[in-house]
Structure 1
Amino acid sequence: MFRLLVVEDEEMIRNKIIYNTNWKEHGVIEVFQASNGLEAIDIVRNNNIDIVITDIQMPEMNGIELIREIRSLNRGIKCIIITAYAEFEYAKESVKLNVNDYILKPFKSKDLLYIVKKLLEEIVRERNERVEVENLRRQLRENKKALREKLLNDLLSNSYIGDVDDDLNYLELLELKNREYFIAVININNFMELIKEEDEEQKYIVNLSFYNLVTKFLSSLATDSSNTLDTKLVYSVINYKIDQIVIAVYNDIDKFIPAFEDLIKAGRRELGFCMTTGIGNKYKNLTDMHISYKEACSAALLDRVYGRGNVYIFNDLNFGNKVYSKQLHILGDTKLYDDLKIGAFPEIKKDIENVITQIKSSKLELDAINTIIYNIILLSCKTINELGYDVFEIMGEDFNLHFDVKEINNLVQLEEWLLSFFYKVNEYINRKRSNRNEKLLSKVKDYVDRNYSENITLTSISKDFGISSGYLSVLFNDYIGQNFIDYLTNLRIQNAKNLLKSTDLKIYEIADRVGYRDAYYFSTAFKKSVGINPTDYREKLNIL
């Protein structure tokens, strides 16, 4: 339901607007009227007005001043200006005030109604959008538990995007900011044995039993962030994988080791679970959570050496330098290798700059830097091999994988060496890829030239040649200079023109011979390309 306000000092025009239209038929339940701007302001202040129709020239307060005042009270009110040609300069000023529409005097009631109905539809749309946004906000409030878990999942997988502080504030988790934590993983070692010869549902039942066991056991020790925020958070439980529970613990490692040992015993006793726990190093920055998680997973792998059913700490692996360990994980997560695969050298350059920045900020010893650079080169060689190339063919037979950073005087030279290495690799890969693509497109073009009369499509050709249709489309445009559809259409039309000139075949027969199963569609395509239909084209040839 809507409310309309008519502001016009001329009573005759005011009555015309109010009484010439049955406003109730169009959802307007109340129509207010005012003879000047001051009266109008009082009405706006005391009623929920949706649309104001106002003249420009009025005593006390003109229409422009009125709209300016209305905007200060309620920016959502729609405003329509009634103006005469002589007042057009005022109308231009109204544009600055975001006036929704205007109508020139003299006007017909139906024309004004058309404008009002258009604005009413806009109001309905905006109301629906506000309701939708409010529903989303309500859902967000109700689903904060799920959003907290998603935040932790993203941090664990190193896929978090955004500002952590903002998210912590919104999710009411600000107490986690700059607070030390570590990640513990609990694996079910005999998961496959527990679901053996059972239906698909069984694995989810086992997982839920596993999750309930962990949360129930730990609930007696501390407060879980996913359940309440009334007391200081001590841990958060994440059902991360079907056979793995992850716990972010905001407490001392030593205090929780006995608890994890008791949990392992309870799992075996109550549910027949054989469980192993791995514990990562402590960190303060939440964006380092994926590092502690990987460390915990690495620690849990010790069960293969020392046996299942125990608690293992990352330091058990004798990685004494926590900072060094962190840097290795960060470098392992770099997108450098992905950028190398797609040949994006500007991005590769940024990746290398980021690596050098991290090395500089970590203040590592030369041996540690050497190991990191060696790992980068080694993983790059692995990427090169995955692409089907040989690093020694690129760099030369004398290339030494065991890079010695001691031969470099400073980090600037190290960055230059890395850039030189990756530039050479990138140039080689792009050159090879370009040659391969050129050969591929030559074969594709030859195939199209020979089979244009068949029912061929970009999708069918991409399947035949083993590449995606999207990639083939880009390559075709780059190497042929036309998109696939245009090339095929021109080829078919050109051959159709030859057949029209050299044969007496009927139009539908020519259409079929050049790949069109519908003669009408062929005629339409022909006319679009040539400018006249096939019949007229043939007649024109005969005249010549």
Structure 2
Amino acid sequence: YMSTVYQDEIVCILNTVDKEIEPVRKKLKYLIVNVSNLKTVFPDIRIRIGQGNTHSSYMGITDSFREAELAIMNRMGENEDTYICYSEDSKSGKTKEEIFDSGLRNEILTYQERMDIEGTLRLVDKVGEKLKPFKYDGKLVYEVFGELVETLRFGMKYSREGRNLFLIEDYKKQYRRIWDYDELFQWIKSDLSRVHQVYMKNIQDEESKPIRDAKKYIHDNFNKHISLENVSEYIGFNAAYFSTLFKKETGKNFLEYVTELRIQNAKNYLIQTNYDIAEVASAVGYNDLKYFSKLFKKTTGLNPSEFRKLYS
């Protein structure tokens, strides 16, 4: 016999006669047992052997190889054997279009366009349930899997990061490592969720950075004349959009945030310095002493003099 490594598999060509096939099978099954016993050392190791039909001519080697591949594909059926022989009985007669039709595809794309991950995952489950009665047909399972992954990736056209994290070749490699039908769909959903979380975090980071820049600008300039308009202009945003985003990120509107920062600094000046009240007001950005005193009392419950006397 001869063997070679093909992708993640070892391919063997056996030159034998029919009456010697059974002893060969026994030896290969014994090999599976020995390899499986290494799980204590390699806990993730799993092995299956697929056997193609025998052919009378070397011209049939390619057919036998394809049959062995189909046998391995059939691993997700009810058959728990680790040694799987090719069988015509594994064909369901169904096409991938019957399982994963255009309506289902368009539904998935619609949910992805809305960035609705829960809706997308429900439809992945729907594909899995439609396909499940035919899971013994490994070729059909693989074809539907391929269509589903292609659709999910296409649906990430809104996200360059998503497409880079959802690579078709990575999915094909992972498919070869999974042996159980339910495990396959759980893994698809888990990885789809992972990609979505990374994408949403990137969006949040993109939105948060301008707000971080705005907050730094406010902290550096709160003692000067500062307005929603000049801060939004500084970070390059429309004032109305900046106002909405600022409230979303900080939980406060712009004026509340600036006022809170100024009053907190005014408290520090009143406790730690000998500035008179007018100097404190000016130091935190208020030139109108009366307005400052009124605002300070509204915020703290005490006027500035009372606060200094109580806490100094």
**TM value normalised by structure 1:** 0.30
Query: Which is strand-richer, 1 or 2?
Result: 1
Higher relative contact order (CA 8 A, sep 6+): 2
**TM value normalised by structure 2:** 0.48
Query: Which is helix-richer, 1 or 2?
Result: 2
